Structure 1
Amino acid sequence: MALARDGTGSGAVARAYWSQIHPVFMTPPIAASLFGAILAGSVDPVLAAVHVLAMFAAVYTAHVKDGYVDFHVRGEDDDHPLTERGCRVGLAASTATFAGCCLLLAALVDALVLAVVVPTWLIAYHHAPQLDTNPVTATTGYPLGIALSILGGFYVQAGTITAVPLGFAVVFLALLSGVKVIDDAQDYAYDRSIEKRTVAVAVGPSRAYDIAYGLMAVALAAVVGFAVARVFPLTTLLAALAFAAVAAVARRADPELATMLLIRGSYVFLAVLVAAVRFDPVGRFV
């Protein structure tokens, strides 16, 4: 049986599987994993690479499963590059890769590492059709995966979880949940027509925006609080300021433009946080 729906041969199959790699959504979990490693101080490149591969495999699983459900099961999408069998083979391959990474991490670190690694795959695999039908889980699934990626990246290096990575994980969970609410609001009319319960559908677009920016404000306030308490480096205040500026502009934009601005703003936020943890230029003069 064919694996790809558009064409035959190894080239068509390779293109079909490659299409399930979405850099916009793949980059943050990988970056979060490396951020967690940087938080730990010294970085073992082998452990970091194995955890990064695990996060990649988890997100790839989510993309293949989501496409399978939306096209082959629900009939919501107009097209999909993989056949049903192709989706199953892709899921088997990504899951096997993830399982192999888990076994390596358990052997190289300890078995407790699985407590912060395995849930990322569980969230990814069950995003559709289980988690994406509830406003809370549809919103927090991806951000929770990012938070766990930070914790996992830290744990594989340090062998424990401290207040600093936990604090950053909570910040990203709140911040990205707010961004996800805005992202979902783009599809409000369509989601409402198919009775998909996003936050925008559940409470209306206007209240959804208030909830979204409220979550982002809570996240930025947490950064400020942790920085003042010197749990986070003082330079993290610059990250909060940079994202706040982006959010202020996005607040006046339509959902599509706002989502684009906020996603890119989150990249800047993470980049400044990495610099803050690695160098803390502000803290050196205080």
Structure 2
Amino acid sequence: MALARADGGAGATARAYWSQVHPVFMTPPVAASLFGAVLAGRLEAAVAAVHVVAIFAAVYTAHVKDGYVDFYARGEDDDHPLTERGCRVGLVGSTATFAACCLLLLALVDWVAVALTLPTWLIAYHHAPQLDTNPVTATTGYPLGIALAILGGFYVQTSALAAIAVGFALVFLVLLSGVKVIDDTQDYEYDRSIRKRTVAVALGPERAYTLAYGLITTALLIVVGFAVARVFPPTTVLAVLAFGAVAVVARRADPTVATMLLVRGSYVFLAVLVTAVWFEPLSALG
């Protein structure tokens, strides 16, 4: 049986599976894993690579499962490159890859590394159709995955957790939850028509916007607070200024443009944080 809907050839099949790689959404979790390693102040390349592959496999699982549910179960999408069997094979492959990475983390680090990594796959696999219908879990699933990627990336390097890793995980959980609320506002009318309860549907677009920017502001204030307390390097405040400027512009835009600005602003935010930590080692904070 064919795996790709367009054609049964090897090239078409490869393109169909490659189509499930979405850089805009896959890059942040992978970068978060590496950011965790940067926070650790050292880089064991082999174990970092294993964790990165595990995170990639988890996010790939989410995209294949979402596509399968939206096209074959819900009938929301107009097209999908994979057949039903192709989706199942893709899920088996990504899950097997993830499981192999977890076994390697168990051997190279310990069970805690696996415990911090395993939930990323559970969130990914159950995002659709279970988690994406509840306002809280639909909003926090992806941000929680980012937070776990930071913690896992840090832990596999140090076999311990520290305040700075937990602090940054909290910041991204809150910040990206705000961005996700705005992202979901784009589909308010459609989600409402199918009774999909996102935050925008539950609260209404205006109150959802207020909540979203409240979360974003809270995340930025957390960075400032941790910088003042010397948990974060003081220069991380520059990331607050950079993202804050983007948020001010996005606040005046419609949900589609706002989401585009905030997602790209998140990349800048992360880049400035990485630079701040890289050039101001944690040992200098004492």
Give TM-score, length-normalised by structure 2.
Answer: 0.98
**2:21 corresponds to 1:21:** yes
For 1:260, the aligned partner's letter is M
Tell me the residue number matched to 2:89: 89
Partner of 1:140: 140
Pairing of 1:96-175 with structure 2 (within 5 A): 96-175=96-175
Matched residue, 2:241: 241
Q: Which moved more, 1:257-266 or 1:109-118?
A: 109-118
Structure 2 residue matching 1:235: 3-state secondary structure: helix
In the other structure, the counterpart of 1:190 is 190
Please list the CA deviations of residues 213-270 of structure 1 after superposition, one character each: whole Å capped at 9, or x if unmatched.
0000000000000000100000100001100000000000000000000000000000
Note the 1:210-225 alignment, pairs <5 A. Answer: 210-225=210-225
**1:42 positional shift:** 1.1
Aligned equivalents of 2:4, 2:246: Cα separation in 1: 40
Other-structure match for 1:47 = 47
Q: Report the TM-score, using the length of structure 1 for normalisation.
A: 0.98
The Cα shift of 1:66 comes to 0.3
| Count of residue correspondences | 283
User: Distance between the aligned counterparts of 2:140 and 2:111, measured in 1?
Assistant: 26
Which residue of the partner structure matches residue 278 of structure 2? 278
For residues 111 and 118 of structure 2, the distance between their equivalents in structure 1, rounded to whole angstroms, comes to 11
Percentage identity across aligned positions?
Answer: 77
* Matched position secondary structure for 1:173: helix
One-letter amino acid matched to 2:28: P
Instruction: Give the letter for the 1:134 counterpart.
Output: N
| Equivalent AA in structure 1 for residue 66 of structure 2 | D
Matches of 1:180 and 1:188 in 2, distance apart? 13
| Residue identity matched to 2:47 | L
1:280 to partner: Cα distance: 3.2
What SS class does the counterpart of residue 8 from structure 1 fall into?
coil
Q: Where do 5+ consecutive residues of structure 1 fail to align?
A: none
Letter of the structure 2 residue corresponding to residue 256 of structure 1: T
* Distance in 2, Cα, partners of 1:6 & 1:187: 28
- Tell me, what secondary structure is at the counterpart of 2:227? helix
- C-alpha separation in 2, matches of 1:142 and 1:174: 11
Question: Is 1:8 aligned with 2:8?
Answer: yes
Aligned equivalents of 1:117 and 1:109: distance in 2? 12
Amino acid at match of 1:191: D
SS in 2 for 1:141: helix
Q: 2-side partners of 1:219 and 1:241: how far apart?
A: 12
Report the CA distance between 1:111 and its aligned residue.
1.4
**What code does the residue aligned with 2:210 have?**
D
Give the RMSD, CA atoms, in angstroms.
Answer: 1.1
d(CA) in 2 for partners of 1:257, 1:64: 26
In structure 2, the gaps of 5 or more residues are none
Give the letter for the 1:186 counterpart. Answer: Q
2:56 aligns with 56
Q: Which residue of 2 aligns with 1:205?
A: 205
| Separation in 2, partners of 1:194, 1:82 | 24
Within 2, Cα distance between the matches of 1:202 and 1:4?
Answer: 37
